[in-house]
Amino acid sequence: MKYLQYRWKQRLLIVLLVSITMSILMMGLELTDWAVNINQTGYSHGDNDTKPNMPPILMYVLPFIKEIILIGVPLFLTLIWIKIVNKIKRISSHNKTKHG
């Protein structure tokens, strides 16, 4: 519990900034020709008797891929950002003690 309260405002701000950035990028991706093409070639649910042209296993795998992308990518970018900031802080504090 002590770790959850340690610098929680700063950590929350980082997660929110990464999430907002990813949301803006995803909204921009939605406006591309690629996304429009995918939306146009999608199949309709229940309008006709044709089945989708995909293996049944994908029906179970695709939702997990969506979760990995929407949750995992911001998490991964946040972890990379924190490591870079910590490395920069470590280098700058090492230079201060070396020259000071």
pLDDT in tens, 45-84: 555 555 667 777 877 888 888 888 888 888 898 899 999 9
- 48 part of a folded domain: no
What pLDDT is stored for residue 34 in this prediction? 83
* Between 18 and 100, residue with greater pLDDT: 18
- 46 part of a folded domain: no
- 50 part of a folded domain: no
Number of neighbours of residue 5 by Cβ within 10 angstroms = 7
Distance from C-alpha of 71 to C-alpha of 89, rounded to nearest angstrom: 27
- 44 part of a folded domain: no
32-57: average pLDDT:
71
pLDDT over 90 at 31, yes or no = no
28-54: average pLDDT:
72
Q: What is the mean pLDDT of the chain?
A: 81
- 72 part of a folded domain: yes
- 47 part of a folded domain: no
- 75 part of a folded domain: yes
- 45 part of a folded domain: no
For residue 11, give the nearest of 62, 71, 70, 86 by alpha carbon. Answer: 86
Residue 34's alpha-carbon distances to 67, 92, 95, in angstroms, are 21, 44, 48
Quote the number of domains for the chain.
Answer: 1
For residue 29, the enclosing domain spans 7-38+55-99
